[in-house]
RNA sequence: GCGGACGUGGCGGAACCGGUAGACGCGACAGACUUAAAAUCUGUUUUCCCCUGGAAGUGCGGGUUCGAGUCCCGCCGUCCGCACCA
């Protein structure tokens, strides 16, 4: 049997594709367009299996759509700014620019080796001045439109990376990259007004019907829209200087008559104003000390201090409420102040019980008696009828909310309000390896935009990264500039933009990588939106929310016609591997060990010494657990197609896939068996006469395969599709060329031609080699996806299982589409089934056409 | 605590609309080829039993239905996201 030789075939076909320039994307209004995109990689220097999976998945889509006649855009670039380059520079004394471009060169070679259907002519890196200069241009446009502002504010400070983090980049109170506990720091910051788009971003989710429900939900929760009432309490007696009233926000205005006290955050300006009182000062200090980590919040007891101030109830001027400072109220949500209704809010209840404050129920649960209903240690938050509430008595919760809002509005004390959890996006980073914010600070004119003619504001060549901190800020001359307005001496802004800004519009730029404007509208109008975006779930709220925001902002600035950038999103699972440790606890990498199987148990030993190892959990491939497998080594051993095939075949794409050596060997075996079928097929001979039974059966199987594969690819069930290819190969093996009639040989040739086209998105190199072997015209990459005849996907005679009372008791054969009455006759005439029915009377016969027969009998 | 997803052989998984549960692959076992091994090929492989057949079986307990892995109710478990959000 001839072995398939990927070492020879794979480079040959990649060269052939490149020579024919087949993947160049071209605007062609005669054809439907398709934009397939995978999240672009950070150029870390080496390809890992996660990349192999991500880009193989996207490549299946891109190649399939090409074969279906779409004009396809499938580009690639590099998310190239960011801290790893600075860290490499600091640790090894290399230049971050050189380090990054070297890594890009290495990874480009590895990616090209994967045989992806990429239009490489559109490649760029976000650290190219030609890219970030255009980013600076639209940044200034957004500034002009009021979407960029500077504000002194409390920011999340990562003490390890020495930079500011956005809220989205703080996970469990720690920096998303460094893992360091985040500190609060006051700093002048640049913000993008993402909150202006909160409603749009939320409502837009409803239109994204080809996004995973999970991601839409995560964004919905992150944006966190809530509707309620914002109103001001008047102080009883003299108001503290500078305070007319006390603004609070509530989603439960229906419970206003259950008010017990008013609470403010420790960071609230009023609390700070009262800090002259040492008791209050001490309490504020105590609150600030408390960490923001998950565990601390979980266990933190609700504590507070009474300010001594009192405010007047909005619906009863004779009723006053005490004002407390409480640790469970957050300054950065709502107004940083609440009115508390302990009977119907658990936090308020815990607090009220601790400090002996009143608990007065105002919502009566259905079926409860108002005379006896009482709240114990659990607040009642369910539906019910309002009572103890003057003008709201008898209303249900929703009606009471509306009534309370109307009354407050008519009193001029406040109004219905929508509040978001989403905060504006702090985009400035105190880093040298990033896109400079294109402004100068002039002592006379203030903050002044750099004119577009002077863009890009490029990074200097000679940044010093030997020490932590902002290399740009300490550069001796770079920041010196003339003010564009008055010409006087001024200082450049030394903050750079968050790298998530870089990745928020690269897909737009891919449509026109050489345009003078940031986005060429004609090109973007043709290609956008991205029809299928593929990437990891970890970007569910970071990148995917920012990109949606920026795209909308650019749309509103007239640069784009499309508001939502990605109409289809697919989030793929991770690549995992078993972990192995020595008895001492040290991790051992897979290449150093041997797995021995005894029956159903497996044992791992160190290859060199035979030392037994502990087989641990299956986890995401990571350097720290040493459970990685280098793609390059797999490509060398089995070829690229085997690696692609395995990561695509072994699990559904959205789930994690477990890398195993035996699995990739299975894929390699399949490739050789496929090759053997093509290799053993003699040159096409004239088909002789009518196809015989075997040929017809093969034809039907082929049409069934096309149907199954088409449906599997369309619905991202690539693993099932590949299983169909495996099954079909078994059919081919059962009809070998060497013993075939000439009619069957002709049918085999047709089947192989279909097979080559169906496997092309998955194993593109093998498909070309196989296509050439059977004399296919041109390259398979240019061959159309095969069609199928629905009539041929069903057999003429179907085997129907026959159940008696729901249990399988036999089967019969019937013509496809046979009338239920005829099927019933066949069933009743069957002696085997008659035997099973002995002593029973048939009560009912259910015939499901071409599927099953069920006899109900007793 | 809130929200969501998922529980199927030794393993990854299939079963798309409620219609033969376990496709396909991996592993294991047996056989062929071989001096031998690797590779390759052929076969078997959910469990149990009184084995020409039969029973049970998709986390557990109920329900709907002629028929449930699939739908409904209640538990249990695993994973993910958010988390003092007023």
A471-484: pLDDT as tens digits: 999 999 999 999 99
pLDDT of A289 reads 66
Instruction: Work out the angle at residue A27's Cα, subtended by the Cα atoms of residues A25 and A29, and round it to the nearest 5 degrees.
Output: 140
SS3 A33: strand
Nearest nucleic acid nucleotide to A218, CA to C1' distance: B81
- Structure tokens of A200? 């749009």
Q: For A251-262, what is each residue's pLDDT tens digit?
A: 999 999 999 999
pLDDT in tens, A34-82: 999 999 999 999 999 999 999 999 999 999 999 999 999 999 999 999 9
Beta-sheet strands, E only, within A180-253: 183-192, 225-235, 245-250
Are the C-beta atoms of residues A474 and A485 closer than 8 Å to each other? no
First to last CA, chain A: 59
> What are the structure tokens assigned to A44, written together?
């870390």
**Pairwise CA distance, residues A175 & A156, whole Å:** 9
Name the nucleotide with the smallest C1'–CA separation from A850: B19
Residue nearest B6 (alpha carbon to C1'): A655
CA to C1' distance (Å), from A298 to B1: 10
Mean pLDDT for the stretch of residues A775-792: 94
Nearest CA-CA partner of A296 in A112, A111, A172, A468: A172
Encode pLDDT of A307-322 as tens digits: 999 999 999 999 999 9
pLDDT above 60 for A516: yes
Nucleotide B40: nearest residue by CA–C1'? Answer: A1
Q: How far is CA A852 from the centre of its chain?
A: 42
Nucleotide nearest to A654 (CA to C1'): B5
Examine the pLDDT at A297 and tell me if it is beyond 50. Answer: no
pLDDT of A720 reads 94
- Which nucleotide is closest, CA of A853 to its C1'? B19
Residue with CA nearest to B82's C1' atom: A221
Distance A342 CA to B86 C1' (A): 11
Handedness of CA A265, A271, A275, A280 (dihedral sign): negative
Question: What local confidence, expressed as pLDDT, does residue A839 receive?
Answer: 77
ipTM: 0.94
Most confident stretch, A9-13, A347-351, A367-371: A9-13
What are the pLDDT digits (tens) for A378-430?
888 888 899 999 999 999 998 999 999 999 999 999 999 999 999 899 899 88
A147 Cβ partners below 8 Å, 6+ apart?
A192, A193, A196, A553
The gap between A673 CA and B31 C1' (Å) is 21
d(CA A447, CA A490): 10
Q: Which nucleotide is nearest to A805 (CA to C1')?
A: B66
Spacing of A858 CA from B55 C1' in Å: 19
User: Is the peptide bond prior to A529 cis by the omega test (within 30 degrees of 0)?
Assistant: yes
> What does the pLDDT read at residue A77?
98
For residue A63, CA distances in Å to A92, A200, A512, A783 come to 41, 34, 22, 11
A724 CA vs B9 C1’ separation (Å): 21
Q: How far apart are CA A43 and CA A101, in angstroms?
A: 8
**Tokens at residue A344, please?**
């119907």
Q: Residue A169: pLDDT above 90?
A: no
The two tokens of residue A333 are 């949500």
Could you report the per-residue pLDDT of A699-743, keeping only the tens digit for each?
Answer: 999 999 999 999 999 999 999 999 999 999 999 999 998 888 888
Q: What's the pLDDT tens digit per position in A349-360?
A: 989 999 999 999
Distance of A841 CA from B67 C1′ (whole Å): 18
pLDDT at A686: 61
Average pLDDT, chain A: 91
pLDDT confidence tier of residue A83, bands split at 50, 70 and 90: confident
CA of A667 to C1' of B25 (A): 9
Distance A721 CA to B64 C1' (A): 34
The average pLDDT across A810-830 equals: 86
User: Which of A712, A707, A733 lies closest to A723, judged by CA?
Assistant: A712
Distance of CA A390 to the CA centre of its chain: 50
Q: CA(A536)–C1'(B58) in Å?
A: 30
C1' of B82 to CA of A548 (Å): 21
The nucleotide whose C1' lies nearest the CA of A798 is: B20
Query: Would you state the pLDDT for residue A300?
Result: 65
Question: For A676-699, how does the pLDDT look when each residue is reduced to its tens digit (9 = 90+)?
Answer: 999 999 887 666 667 888 899 999
Which chain B nucleotides are covered by protein, judged by CB under 7 A? 3-5, 10-16, 19-21, 23-29, 39-42, 54-56, 66-68, 80-86
Question: C1' nearest to CA of A168: which nucleotide?
Answer: B82
Q: Residues, chain A, total?
A: 858
Nucleotide nearest A667, from its CA to each C1': B25
DSSP one-letter string for A470-514: -TTTT-SSTTEEE-TTT-SEEEE---EE-HHHHTTSHHHHTTSTT
- Model pLDDT for residues A90-103, shown as the tens digit of each residue: 888 899 999 999 99
Distance CA A619, CA A441 (A): 50
């Amino acid at each position: 049997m001839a072995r398939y030789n990927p070492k020879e075939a794979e480079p040959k076909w990649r060269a052939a594709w490149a020579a024919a320039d087949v993947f160049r994307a071209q605007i062609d209004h005669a054809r439907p367009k398709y934009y397939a995109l995978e999240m672009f990689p950070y150029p870390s220097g080496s390809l890992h299996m996660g990349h192999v999976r991500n880009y193989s998945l996207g490549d299946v889509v891109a190649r399939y759509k090409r074969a279906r006649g779409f004009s396809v855009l499938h580009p690639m670039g590099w998310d190239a700014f960011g801290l790893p380059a600075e860290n490499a520079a600091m640790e090894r004394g290399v230049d971050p620019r050189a380090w990054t471009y070297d890594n890009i060169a290495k990874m480009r070679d590895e990616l090209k080796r994967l045989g992806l259907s990429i239009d490489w002519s559109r490649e760029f890196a976000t650290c190219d001045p030609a890219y970030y200069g255009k980013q600076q241009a639209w940044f200034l446009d957004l500034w002009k439109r009021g979407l960029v502002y500077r504000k002194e504010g409390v920011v999340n400070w990562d003490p390890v990376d020495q930079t500011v983090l956005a809220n989205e980049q703080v996970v469990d109170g720690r920096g998303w990259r460094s893992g360091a506990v985040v500190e609060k720091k006051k700093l002048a910051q640049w913000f993008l007004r993402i909150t202006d788009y909160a409603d749009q971003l939320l409502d837009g989710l409803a239109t994204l019907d080809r996004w995973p429900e999970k991601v839409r939900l995560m964004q919905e929760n992150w944006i966190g829209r809530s509707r309620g009432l914002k109103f001001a309490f008047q102080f009883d007696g003299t108001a503290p200087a500078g305070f007319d009233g006390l603004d609070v926000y509530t989603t439960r205005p229906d419970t206003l008559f259950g008010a017990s006290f008013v609470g403010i955050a420790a960071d609230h300006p009023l609390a700070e104003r009262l800090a002259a009182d040492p008791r209050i000062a001490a309490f504020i200090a105590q609150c600030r000390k408390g960490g923001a980590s998950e565990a601390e919040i979980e266990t933190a007891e609700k504590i507070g201090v009474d300010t001594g101030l009192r405010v007047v109830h909005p619906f009863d001027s004779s009723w006053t409420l005490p004002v407390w400072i409480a640790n469970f109220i957050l300054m950065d949500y709502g107004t940083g102040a609440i009115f508390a209704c302990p009977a119907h809010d658990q936090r308020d209840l815990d607090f009220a019980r601790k400090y002996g404050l009143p608990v007065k129920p105002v919502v009566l649960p259905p079926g409860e008696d108002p005379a006896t209903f009482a709240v114990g240690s659990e607040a009642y938050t369910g539906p019910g009828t309002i009572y103890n509430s003057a003008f709201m008595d008898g209303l249900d919760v929703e009606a009471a909310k509306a009534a309370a809002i109307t009354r407050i509005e008519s009193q001029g004390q406040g109004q219905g309000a929508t509040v978001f959890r989403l905060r504006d996006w702090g985009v400035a980073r105190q880093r040298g390896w990033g896109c400079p914010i294109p402004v100068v600070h002039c002592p006379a004119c203030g903050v002044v935009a750099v004119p577009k003619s002077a863009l890009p504001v490029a990074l200097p060549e000679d940044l010093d990264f030997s020490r932590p901190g902002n290399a740009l800020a300490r550069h001796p001359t770079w920041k010196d500039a003339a003010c564009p307005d008055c010409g006087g001496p001024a200082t450049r802004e030394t903050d750079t933009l968050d790298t998530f800004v870089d990745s928020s519009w690269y897909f737009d730029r891919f449509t026109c990588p050489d345009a003078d404007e940031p986005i060429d509208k004609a090109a973007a109008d043709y290609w956008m939106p991205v029809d299928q975006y593929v990437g990891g779930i970890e970007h569910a709220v970071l990148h995917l929310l920012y990109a949606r925001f920026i795209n909308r902002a650019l749309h509103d600035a007239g640069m784009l016609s499309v508001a939502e950038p990605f109409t289809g999103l697919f989030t793929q699972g991770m690549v995992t591997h078993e972990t192995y440790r020595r008895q001492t606890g040290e991790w051992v990498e897979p290449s150093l060990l041997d797995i021995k199987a005894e029956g159903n148990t497996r044992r791992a030993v160190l290859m060199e010494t035979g030392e037994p190892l502990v087989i641990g959990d299956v986890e995401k491939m990571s350097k720290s657990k040493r459970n990685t497998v280098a793609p390059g080594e797999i490509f060398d051993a089995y070829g690229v197609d085997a690696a692609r095939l395995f990561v695509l075949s072994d699990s559904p794409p959205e789930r994690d896939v477990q890398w195993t050596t035996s699995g990739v060997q299975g894929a390699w075996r399949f490739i050789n068996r496929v090759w053997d079928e093509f290799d053993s097929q003699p040159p096409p001979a004239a088909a002789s006469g009518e196809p015989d039974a075997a040929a017809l059966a093969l034809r039907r199987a082929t049409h069934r395969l096309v149907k199954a594969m088409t449906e599997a690819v369309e619905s991202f069930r690539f693993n099932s599709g590949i299983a169909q290819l495996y099954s079909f190969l078994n059919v081919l093996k059962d009809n070998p060329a060497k013993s075939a009639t000439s009619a069957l040989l002709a049918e085999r040739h047709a089947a192989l031609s279909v097979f080559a086209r169906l496997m092309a998105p998955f194993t593109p190199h093998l498909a070309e080699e196989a296509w050439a072997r059977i004399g296919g015209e041109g390259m398979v990459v240019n061959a159309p996806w095969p069609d199928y005849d629905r009539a041929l996907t069903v057999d003429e005679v179907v085997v129907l299982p026959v159940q008696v009372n729901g249990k399988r008791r036999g089967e019969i054969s019937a013509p496809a589409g046979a009338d239920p009455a005829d099927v019933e006759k066949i069933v009743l005439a069957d002696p085997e089934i008659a035997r099973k029915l002995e002593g029973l009377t048939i009560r009912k016969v259910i015939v499901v056409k071409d599927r099953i027969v069920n006899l109900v009998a007793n």
